[in-house]
Amino acid sequence: MPTGVTGSYSSGTVTISGSPSVTGTFNYTVTPTGSCTSSTSTGTITVNGPTANVGSALSSICQNGTSGLLGGSVSGTATGGTWSDGAIGGAFNPNATTLNGTYSPPSGFSGTVVLTLTSSGGSCGTASASKNLTVVAQPTASGSGGSQTICAGGSATVSGISASNGTISWTENGAGSITSGGATVSPTYTSQAGDAGNTVTLTMTVTGNPCTVANATYTVLVNALPSISVSPASPNVCLGSGVSLTVSGASTYLWSPAGSLSASTGATVIASPSVNTTYTVTGTDANSCTKTSTVTVTIIPAPSAVTVTPSSTTICSGGSVSLAASGGPLVSTVTSGTGSSTTSSNTSSSTLGPNFAELLRWNEATNYVACVRIDCLRIDQWLQDKFYYHQPGSCRNNVCAFKLQSKIPVVSIDNFIVNNANYYRMGNNLWSAKLYSKRRIEYIHFYLSYNLGWFKLLDS
């Protein structure tokens, strides 16, 4: 029997009564019990009444959107039906009595709407059925246009961005990556060397299906690090000495360890370590970006003393002398004069001749100087024999005037006497000399200041 209907027996009578709550056709059977011969009776109860069917479930819609077709229907004694939304103020399209219309929630509403279909018509009252519609709030994103400046390799944390009604995700177009906070409004972007000099755009996307996504952007300007270099790159220094280190490529510099440096700041410092030491210099540029570089100063052990044998000697032009150097380590040999020298291992040998002296002759008429190279002169080689341009009367009473001017270092000559020959300074490097005897003379350079008579060269 239908729900709400029951049967009872009394004094040989079966009574079926009640108020059915469902409609339909229901068959029943009555079977007596007892000692008498039993017999059964059957019957059918038909319950007429309205039914309301709301159809299949609805898909979620976005805020300010419209549902799909509602799919409602009525049956039984019902001849129609009416939709309602629990009085939240939405609209059924084209109207509430259109069973398979659509529904639009009120503007700005989000949440769950209970849609109820109530039957109408007939003599058996009404029936109702309901289903839910989920209204999703539209995602929002705001705060675009923010920016931050960092140095390559540094990190930037987004600020000033807000979002609602959805799931947050971030993308970026740089060489680095978002290293934390990727599902929040304040992620952290860590740059890489490839970002140097570029602007990286971070894009936030807020997703809430079935709504359209919302976006906001944030920019990160990445400055390149300074390119610093230290010169010399591999310096060596003798123990107890210092070496100058110069760095370039930044604006300011900080050196460490500072204990063996002349200063801890500046582009140039003097390093005077007692052991091999690696120095670190940090350069900071105008953008406050920093980079470090290192340089190792290596201590060179002190060499043993260098000895040259002989330490001094005198030779004439065309002659030679053998010199030997020992000690070291020997790095190079510096020589003066003519000849050649060789260096191997810690020994240097040289074969050298003397620097030539020069005789310069002055002709006042033409202001011309003639240069003649002379060797070792002896007193029996009179100057006039080779170089003298004689004009009678140049010397009177064996006294000649001449100017002395050294071309190589010579001993100072002021007033002196050599073998009874008296020489006196007369001013402007002019000398007067009275010549008496012939003597051996070695080297001297001089200018002739006049056409001379006979004279001799003096020891230098």
- For residue 35, the model assigns a pLDDT of 67
- For residue 277, the model assigns a pLDDT of 97
- Considering the four listed CATH numbers 2.60.40.10, 3.10.20.600, 2.40.40.20, 3.40.50.460, the one that applies to the domain covering 231-300 is 2.60.40.10
For residues 161 and 204, the answer to whether their CB atoms sit within 8 Å is yes
Least-confidence region, from 107-121, 300-314, 359-373:
359-373
Least-confidence region, from 79-93, 308-322, 393-407:
393-407
C-alpha atoms less than 13 angstroms from C-alpha of 68 in its C-beta half-sphere: 11
Q: Does residue 458 carry a pLDDT above 50?
A: no
Give the pLDDT mean for 381-399.
33
Q: Does residue 442 carry a pLDDT above 70?
A: no
Fold (topology level) of 140-223? Immunoglobulin-like (2.60.40)
Q: Does residue 73 carry a pLDDT above 60?
A: yes
- For residue 251, the model assigns a pLDDT of 97
- For residue 138, the model assigns a pLDDT of 97
- For residue 317, the model assigns a pLDDT of 57
Give the pLDDT mean for 398-420.
31
Mean of the per-residue pLDDT values for the chain? 75
Q: Does residue 380 carry a pLDDT above 80?
A: no
Separation CA 231–CA 377 (nearest Å) = 55
- For residue 340, the model assigns a pLDDT of 52
Lookup: tokens for 112: 């769950």
Domain extent listing, the chain: 5-47, 51-136, 140-223, 231-300, 304-353, 357-447
Three state DSSP letters for 400-451: EEEEECCCCCCCCCCCEEECCEEEEECCCCEEEEECCCCCCCCCCCEECCCC
Give which of 52, 111, 122 is closest to 84, Cα–Cα: 52
Give the pLDDT mean for 226-230.
96
Q: Does residue 354 carry a pLDDT above 80?
A: no
Per cent of the chain over pLDDT 90 is 51
Separation CA 218–CA 200 (nearest Å) = 8
pLDDT digits (tens, 9 = 90+) for 1-31: 888 888 888 877 888 888 887 778 889 888 8
Q: Does residue 366 carry a pLDDT above 50?
A: no
Give the pLDDT mean for 187-194.
97
Q: Does residue 438 carry a pLDDT above 60?
A: no
Higher-confidence residue: 443 or 41?
41
Lookup: tokens for 334: 């510096």
Task: Examine domains 51-136 and 140-223 and report if their fold is the same.
Answer: yes
Separation CA 169–CA 215 (nearest Å) = 10
Least-confidence region, from 87-101, 198-212, 262-276, 351-365:
351-365
- For residue 329, the model assigns a pLDDT of 55
pLDDT digits (tens, 9 = 90+) for 41-71: 888 988 888 999 999 999 999 999 999 999 9
Overall pTM > 0.95: no
- For residue 423, the model assigns a pLDDT of 37
Question: Distances from the Cα of 87 to the Cαs of 67, 90, 115, 140, in angstroms?
Answer: 17, 8, 10, 28
- For residue 316, the model assigns a pLDDT of 63
Instruction: Return the H-helix or E-strand segment holding 81.
Output: strand 80-84
Q: Does residue 81 carry a pLDDT above 90?
A: yes
Per cent of the chain over pLDDT 70 is 67
Q: Which residue carries 């009120």 as its tokens?
A: 106
Q: Does residue 207 carry a pLDDT above 50?
A: yes
Fold (topology level) of 51-136? Immunoglobulin-like (2.60.40)
Separation CA 100–CA 71 (nearest Å) = 5
User: Is 195 in a helix, a strand, or coil?
Assistant: helix
Lookup: tokens for 239: 């123990």
Give the pLDDT mean for 383-401.
34
Give the pLDDT mean for 142-156.
96
Give the pLDDT mean for 422-438.
35
Backbone φ and ψ for 194, nearest 5 degrees, come out as -65, -15
- For residue 14, the model assigns a pLDDT of 83
Q: Does residue 231 carry a pLDDT above 90?
A: yes
Backbone φ and ψ for 386, nearest 5 degrees, come out as -110, -40
Separation CA 279–CA 264 (nearest Å) = 11
- For residue 31, the model assigns a pLDDT of 81
pLDDT digits (tens, 9 = 90+) for 116-134: 999 999 888 899 999 999 9
